Amino acid sequence: MTPAVAAVVLAGGRGRRMDARDKGLVELGGRPLVAWVVERLRPQVGEIVVSANRNLAEYARLGCPVVPDDRPDQPGPLAGILAAGRRCSADWLLVAPCDTPFLPADLVARLLGEAAARGVALVRAGDPERVHYAVMLMRRSLLDDLAAALAEGERRVQGWQARHPHADVRFAEAELFFNVNDAAQLARAEVMARSACQIPDID
């Protein structure tokens, strides 16, 4: 666990490709997707805050603070990062979506190490094929600039990241960042979860 790092788990999306279901509460192996993410991150950080805009009581059962966007139009993940990040007290924020259940056990350590080595305040995770923009480590001090970017109309995570010097850490296994966006991907995740975690078959 790294007390100087807090995690912001993004669960505030509208789940358009999941028939508008609250994606963080969709079950994988008998547990909500968000619970998988919290379980992966809890040993790596000092605190976890969940960004959610629906079913707040359900998310609160995880034992973490739950923070909705403070903007009525719900403009996307940047607003969730801002609201939840302001609730955290750590110097660094690890951001991850609620639909990435297999995150690396050394995610925080590697991103933090790269930030120190490169002298940057923003590090993104990736695999050999692509960068996963919504999985990042950032200095909490960047929240003021994030608020300014939102006020200027910025809505894309990648667009905001481009405003700052940053680095990328490439992990060898793409499966670590597998994300569940639709029913087909959920079915594939069930197979992956059983293989990795020996989840029993449910009749």
CATH of domain 2-196: 3.90.550.10
99 is in an annotated binding site: yes
Both tokens assigned to 161: 């990241």
145 is in an annotated binding site: no
10 is in an annotated binding site: yes
When pLDDT is averaged across residues 128-152 and rounded to a whole number, the result is 96
139 has a pLDDT exceeding 50: yes
11 is in an annotated binding site: yes
23 is in an annotated binding site: yes
What integer pLDDT is reported at residue 10 of this predicted model? 97
User: Of 2 and 143, which is predicted with more confidence?
Assistant: 143
Contact (CB, 8 A) for 126 and 171: yes
> What separation, in Å, do the N-terminal and C-terminal C-alpha atoms of the chain show?
37
What integer pLDDT is reported at residue 3 of this predicted model? 65
What integer pLDDT is reported at residue 195 of this predicted model? 75
Nearest to 41 by CA among 83, 87, 10: 10
12 is in an annotated binding site: yes
* 27/62 Cα distance (integer angstroms): 14
What integer pLDDT is reported at residue 17 of this predicted model? 57
**Residues found in the chain:** 203
Q: Centre a 10 Å sphere on the Cβ of residue 129 and count the other Cβ atoms it contains.
A: 8
When pLDDT is averaged across residues 103-115 and rounded to a whole number, the result is 97
pTM for the complete prediction? Answer: 0.90
Nearest to 73 by CA among 153, 187, 182: 153
Per-residue confidence at 63, pLDDT binned at 50, 70, 90? Answer: very high
Phi-psi region of 13 (alpha: psi -120 to 50; beta: other; left: phi over 0): beta
Tell me if residue 157 falls in helix, strand or coil.
helix
Both tokens assigned to 149: 């970017």
What integer pLDDT is reported at residue 18 of this predicted model? 59
Going by the DSSP 8-state scheme, the letter that residue 201 receives in this structure is P
What integer pLDDT is reported at residue 156 of this predicted model? 95
Give the least confident one: 6-20, 23-37, 45-59: 6-20
Domain boundaries, the chain: 2-196
pLDDT in tens, 70-106: 776 767 899 999 999 999 999 999 999 999 999 999 9
